[in-house]
Structure 1
Amino acid sequence: MKYTGRLVLSIITVALTVSLNTYLMSIRLFNIYIIVISCGAIVLSWVGGKRYDEVRDEADLDSLTPAYRRRTAYHLFDRLQQRARRSGRAVAVFFIDIDDFKLINDHYGHAVGDVMLRKTAEALMEVDACETHVVRFGGDEFLVLALCDSEAELQDTHRRMVQRLEAIPALTAVSLTVSIGYAWYPQQGMRLDDLIDSADQQMMEAKRRLKQGRRNAVIR
């Protein structure tokens, strides 16, 4: 959870109470009750800021999984893009699609399918990479955005992502596979939509390899 609301409201409240107390002292109207009221105002500003932060987090997060919403991906990418420019790094964009996800919903119901989506998001969030953000792009599709220094680091992140997905415990007798494609900024595009298109094309190639018996990642 971000602390923006708490910090901003608390700083403003502290500044106002200090100014007010300084003025009251200058005209000799300062007393203990003013101190109590000032402390109470600071506490209330922190509580109000916390609630603001919670509401912002709820607006940014997917309603089903712990991942971010699709619309938040663009804000996250802009932030990573700025950091990549300052540090000379790159931004990796991974596009993940659960293959034949309809089989789970058809055979075991949507409740089980929802559990699989949550576990997929949780597994992706466990990938230990710099500045990693997981986004539920839609349905059974996810985006992972991460800073990286080189294509070798990108490949390493991909490998660890596959390992996390493969470690998901078996929930059904139907085996699902996950196809993953990736692209990176700025080498393959400057806009997130362009990078997603490139990663999507690579993901579709992974699906074709899957049909030929070569798996990208397995969820048992």
Structure 2
Amino acid sequence: MKYRGRFISLLVVVTSSLGLLLYNYVFHGFLDMIYVIATVCFLAIGWGMGKQYDEVKYLSEKDLLTESYNRRFLATIFPKLKQLSDKKSRKLIILLIDVDNFKSINDQYNHSMGDFVLQRISIVLKNLFRVTDYIVRWGGDEFLILVPNPDESWINQPQDRLRLEYKSLSKMISMDVTVSIGYAIYPDEGTELKDLIEIADRKMYRDKYDKNYAQHL
């Protein structure tokens, strides 16, 4: 959780209080202790109000289970990233990641284990991607990652690094965790978020089908 609300609240209180204390000192030649005590009280109030703002903002943007961004945030950030990509003539990749056989994990173990797997996947994604990328929990076991200004390796092979990470995760939790991945490139394959997600979704299901087909050969 960020401290923006608390920072702004304290800044307003401190600035206002210092201005009032300075005014008293310059024009009346003394510092009234009432103002000093009031400043302390207002600082406490400002901190509390700022904390409430930060909590509300966090809940409006974040998925509580995985601490990834949620759909509401995606709808807010995509137009900004799209505008930035257009301005700088850069690409934007949308990755769609789906956990294979997630229902089987819940059925074989329990929903707590399913939640744990989702949390670990979120941690893997956060460690793997850059701080300028955005990880969004799209659905129950689906994640979207927005990758602004990707380098050439992401454009050509966006999946390899992820699969290696999930192999490591499988060993860590003694459970086979695999994912299917699809992606779409803005503006090459589409310009609207809905269209790009549909393209990524088709590629993801194609990836899932290819793996299932290979297993049955």
Q: Indicate how the Cα distance of structure 1 residues 87 and 203 shifts in structure 2: closer, same or farther if over 3 A, else same.
A: same
1:161, CA displacement in angstroms?
A: 2.3
Structure 1 counterpart of 2:190: 189
Structure 2 counterpart of 1:15: 15
Aligned counterparts of 1:157 and 1:194: Cα–Cα separation in 2: 19
Aligned counterparts of 1:61 and 1:41: Cα–Cα separation in 2: 30
Aligned counterparts of 2:117 and 2:177: Cα–Cα separation in 1: 10
Structure 1 counterpart of 2:104: 103
Mapping for residues 79-94 of structure 1, pairs under 5 Å: 79-94=80-95
Aligned counterparts of 2:55 and 2:95: Cα–Cα separation in 1: 28
Amino acid paired to 1:18? L
Structure 2 counterpart of 1:180: 181
Q: Indicate how the Cα distance of structure 1 residues 86 and 32 shifts in structure 2: closer, same or farther if over 3 A, else same.
A: farther
1:47, CA displacement in angstroms?
A: 4.7
> 2:61, 2:73 within 8 Å by CA — same for their partners in 1?
yes
Q: Which one has the bigger helix percentage?
A: 2
User: Which has the higher mean CA deviation after the structures are superposed, 101-110 or 80-89?
Assistant: 80-89
Aligned counterparts of 2:180 and 2:174: Cα–Cα separation in 1: 19
CA distances 1:123-172 after superposition (whole Å, capped 9, x unpaired): 11111335112111111111111112455333455332222222104445
Aligned counterparts of 1:158 and 1:111: Cα–Cα separation in 2: 28
Count of aligned pairs between the two proteins? 213
1:197, CA displacement in angstroms?
A: 0.9
Aligned counterparts of 2:19 and 2:214: Cα–Cα separation in 1: 71
Aligned counterparts of 2:29 and 2:182: Cα–Cα separation in 1: 68
Structure 2 counterpart of 1:126: 127
Any idea what SS the aligned residue of 1:92 has?
Answer: strand
Are positions 1:209 and 2:210 aligned together?
yes
Aligned counterparts of 1:110 and 1:5: Cα–Cα separation in 2: 35
Are positions 1:65 and 2:45 aligned together?
no
Structure 2 counterpart of 1:217: none
CA RMSD in angstroms, aligned pairs only: 2.6
> 1:6, 1:48 within 8 Å by CA — same for their partners in 2?
yes
Aligned counterparts of 2:107 and 2:95: Cα–Cα separation in 1: 27
Are positions 1:28 and 2:35 aligned together?
no
Mapping for residues 150-165 of structure 1, pairs under 5 Å: 150-155=151-156, 157-165=158-166
Aligned counterparts of 1:46 and 1:92: Cα–Cα separation in 2: 39
Q: Indicate how the Cα distance of structure 1 residues 51 and 195 shifts in structure 2: closer, same or farther if over 3 A, else same.
A: same
Any idea what SS the aligned residue of 1:190 has?
Answer: coil
CA distances 1:50-101 after superposition (whole Å, capped 9, x unpaired): 3421332133221221212222212232332243334332221100111211
1:43, CA displacement in angstroms?
A: 5.3
Q: Indicate how the Cα distance of structure 1 residues 190 and 183 shifts in structure 2: closer, same or farther if over 3 A, else same.
A: same
Task: Give structure 1 regions of 4+ aligned residues with deviation exceeding 6 angstroms.
Answer: none
Identity of aligned residues (%): 32
Any idea what SS the aligned residue of 2:95 has?
Answer: strand
Any idea what SS the aligned residue of 2:42 has?
Answer: helix
Give the TM-score, by structure 2 length. Answer: 0.83
Consecutive unaligned residues of structure 1, counting only runs of 5 or more, are 215-220
CA distances 1:90-114 after superposition (whole Å, capped 9, x unpaired): 2211001112111111111212111
